[in-house]
Amino acid sequence: MFSIVLTVHNKDFLLEQVLERIKIFTDGSYELNVVLDGCSDKSELILDKFIINNTHIKINKLYAPDVFETKANNIGLKNSSGNYCIIIQDDMLMNEQSWNTRLLKPIMSFNDVFAVTSQCAHNWAYNPSSVHQNLKEDLDNCWCDILIHTDHAQRYNFSRDIFAVRDSANRGPLLIRHDILQKLNYLDESFSPQDMDDHDLSYRAYKELGMVSGCYWTDIICDPSWGGTRINGQTAKWQLRANHKNVKIVWKRHREAILGKKHNEDRKC
């Protein structure tokens, strides 16, 4: 069974579409764990209406006190009962039938696969020209340049029948083996409020258990203007500070892996 984890923060303008498309396009047995993260709009009312009208779906309504993605996702993940967890963001509309069983295919095909994203996977490389390497403060006016991502695999540059193994996989939708996730003790909340926690998880899965992550794309609709990290079209200052903090954690923790051999393997699936 699948456990779909959807964290929601003030998305009353979009939430009905997000929920309906999950219902329409998801196949097989699943539960839906919706984490209302500090919602102050009508999101909960929209969810309640959906629950009343869809009693055939197991829906768990959970709450978080505006902690944003890392901790809110963990709440949903730790309340999951499925063999496979899928993290979905509240600004993503499913746009392909059987998207969930398609994401499962690489795990069923290869016994070393931990996580599969339908969005983007890539490798990380150290930037020797970094101007942020020795800064102690976390800047709020730019992205951290200590690491750069390379070898992108996403729906725009490789075939649908390829599972692209890379160092790390972005959420979402991000399908994860629940048993391996439990062994890794879920997302590391030192990355709170968000950013780089999924990449850290991919590195830990490989370093500790020899499990790999990658991209096997499915069709989704996601407009950047729907996200909660942009204000008037610009990246929020808190998001930039979080990126600086968390890139430093990943670089310190996974330096050897980042400087070592890259995952850059395309498997036909």
Percentage of residues in the chain having pLDDT higher than 90: 91
The CA distances from residue 228 to 37, 232, 264, in Å, are: 12, 11, 32
CATH classification at residue 125: 3.90.550.10
Per-residue pLDDT tens for 154-175? 988 999 999 999 999 999 899 9
Model's pTM, two decimal places?
A: 0.95
Angle at 177 between CA 37 and CA 15, to 5 degrees: 30
> Which residue in 229, 239, 215 sits closest to 106, CA to CA?
215
| Structural domain harbouring 63 | 2-268
Per-residue pLDDT tens for 54-77? 999 999 999 999 899 999 999 999
The two three-digit tokens of residue 93, written as one number: 């509309």
Residue 227 has pLDDT above 90, yes or no: no
Instruction: Give the chain's domain count.
Output: 1
